[in-house]
Amino acid sequence: MYKNKEKEVVMMAHLSFDSSALKKFVHDNELGEMQAMVNAADSQLRNGTGAGADFRDWLHLPSEYDQEEFARIKAAAKKIQADSDFLVTIGIGGSYLGARMAIDFLHNSFYQAQTPEARKAPFVVFAGNSLSSSYLQDLITLIGDHDFSINVISKSGTTTEPSIAFRVFHELLVKKYGEEAANQRIYATTDRARGALKTEADANGWETFVIPDGVGGRYSVLTAVGLLPIAASGADIDQLMAGAAEAEKAYVDPDLSKNEAYQYAAYRNILYRKGYTTELLENYEPNMAMFAEWWKQLAGESEGKDQKGIYPSSANFTTDLHSLGQYIQEGLRNLMETVVKLDTPNHDLDVPGAANDLDGLGYLEGKSIDWVNTQAYKAVVAAHNAGGVPVMTVHIDEENEYTLGYMIYFFEVAMGISGYLNGINPFNQPGVEAYKTNMFGLLGKPGFEEVGDQLRAEMDD
């Protein structure tokens, strides 16, 4: 594990799952009685007999990834580090959330404000994840005259938000460097053989990386989709993949007494069937907020269909205890909590002494602030349990690439099993297209005029 970011990896980090705070909510026999259903879900996942079987290539991605492309990713990252102050990563949903959460997780909490010398790598910024013109202009202003490159990520190349952003930054790149030099600063992560982005990339000689056919967007962080921007930020993607590969080996046996990822999937389904229909993913470290955003897409797109599924939400503690804490403690009793608890922070400080004790903190002088944080976590678990909220905890040793890769795989395999336990296809997202059809109609996209006319008529009524 890393004790801090500068030291070498001296031992392997891992993850542990703690269900001890479920005793009031789940009887001793219930987990064992889920075993037959878990065995069936495991067979669906491992043998490809379940719905969505064509999108299971993430299962063995950590151990069977394309070594040649992996080497090209690292070479491209080094080139970006050598010639760019910014990497503009353009994508939406799974095409940006994985990289964004990893960079937040792995770097200084104020990574964005660090000088290039302190960061020792380009500032990785994100575009194409909204339709805000103010956001785009602010990003253009931030980049200013600095050198930059673009990593555009899209399977099709026609998704509205990233396509608009790419047009904007492509134009800026060409104006700054000229067409030929700009082409050397564009990296396209897209389909292996087809689609608008692949066609344009081949025509202009952009370096391309592959979004595998059998890996959906929310499972794609360990492909080039996430790996290139993560590597460009200065993180160690070898360790990221090593952690995921270790988790791949750890979570094969469907025996619930041995497989903690499957335990998590089983417990959340037991609780869901008892009426706990909303799950809060919580942390006690501010730089894990984007991890929750990645998890929310993973859980929400995997399970929210056929008018069922656990609703994924999140909270950042202790901050949100002063805003959401009242509702969690005494509101509608449909909540379950899963805490990702960091056991060893990258840094720790002691509570300083003071000449007087006007703030009443004398009893904490000399105590570690992380110790205080951990006591707060324990107090919250006890209070929420007493208030009728079941709590599960995923403990991680430290914040480093190995641990993150391990944790990514833990949640990915758990969501696959959880979806099958709930009788749905965990690898499709048919509902995502509904708003797009309406939007295309209102925008006047060819072929959608009738939808637009109908919507406008309804709005006028």
Which of the residues are catalytic?
301, 436
The rounded Cα 459 to chain-centroid distance in angstroms is 36
- Residues 234 and 120: their CA atoms lie apart, in Å, by 7
CA-to-CA dists, residue 313 to 196, 277, 336, angstroms: 35, 11, 10
Q: What's the gap between Cα 312 and its chain centre?
A: 13
Inter-helix orientation angle 97-106/289-303, to 10° = 150
Distance of CA 82 to the CA centre of its chain: 27
At 359, the amino acid letter reads D
User: How far are the Cα atoms of 178, 252, 415, 427 from residue 45, in angstroms, in the given order?
Assistant: 49, 11, 11, 11
Euclidean distance between CA atoms 345 and 67, whole angstroms: 32
3-state secondary structure of 377: helix
- What are 103's two structure tokens? 């960079």
Q: How many CB atoms sit inside 10 A of residue 82's CB?
A: 9
Could you tell me whether strands 391-396 and 15-18 are parallel, antiparallel, or unpaired per DSSP bridges?
A: antiparallel
Residue type, 320: D
Angular region, 342: left φ>0, alpha ψ -120 to 50, beta rest: beta
Q: How far apart (Å, rounded) are the C-alpha atoms in residues 223 and 343? A: 28
For residue 362, give the amino acid letter: G
Continuous segment of H or E residues that includes residue 396 = strand 391-396
Neighbours of 327 (CB within 10 A): 12
In Å, the largest CA–CA distance within the chain is 74
Q: Are 13 and 400 in contact (CB under 8 A)?
A: yes
